[in-house]
Amino acid sequence: DIVMTQSPDSLAVSLGERATINCKSSQSVLFSSNNKNYLAWYQQKPGQPPRLLISLASTRASGVPDRFSGSGSETDFTLTISSLQAEDVAVYYCQQYYNSWTFGQGTKVEIK
């Protein structure tokens, strides 16, 4: 099974500052036939189900603010929140879907 490892486990960022979350997969999730990375990011606020933010490593889901962006390829990926807002306090998960489906352990984002 592909193992997803996120870093850090938690981070505190001032309002308006940048937040960066990393995700590393134990093997490449790049599908060579279409050159797409099968990597998604989800946001989960307390007491709520997860919400899809980004798929294919960098494609924002419908309705997701453009302060959220995803980057990376093969085994190393990043979710960036360019200007942290109060409503962005949540746990963020990466997920690979190249070979079955596995989530990372989550990164908790708080306000400093």
Q: How far is the CB of 22 from another protein (least distance, A)?
A: 16
Q: Which is it for the CA torsion 88, 9, 45, 39, positive or negative? A: positive
Q: How far is the CB of 49 from another protein (least distance, A)?
A: 4
Per the listing, tokens 């134990």 go with: 26
**CA 111/CA 12 separation, integer angstroms:** 5
Which of residues 42 and 68 has its CB atom nearest to another protein in the complex? 42
- Would you tell me which residues interact with another protein (CB under 8 A)? 1, 36, 40, 42, 44, 49-52, 55-56, 59, 61, 93, 95, 97, 100-106
Side chain identity, residue 24: K
Which of residues 20 and 44 has its CB atom nearest to another protein in the complex? 44
**What is the Rg, in whole angstroms, of the alpha carbon atoms belonging to the chain?**
13
**CA 77/CA 71 separation, integer angstroms:** 6
Q: How far is the CB of 95 from another protein (least distance, A)?
A: 7
Which of residues 16 and 49 has its CB atom nearest to another protein in the complex? 49
**CA 25/CA 28 separation, integer angstroms:** 7
Q: How far is the CB of 15 from another protein (least distance, A)?
A: 26
Which of residues 10 and 83 has its CB atom nearest to another protein in the complex? 10
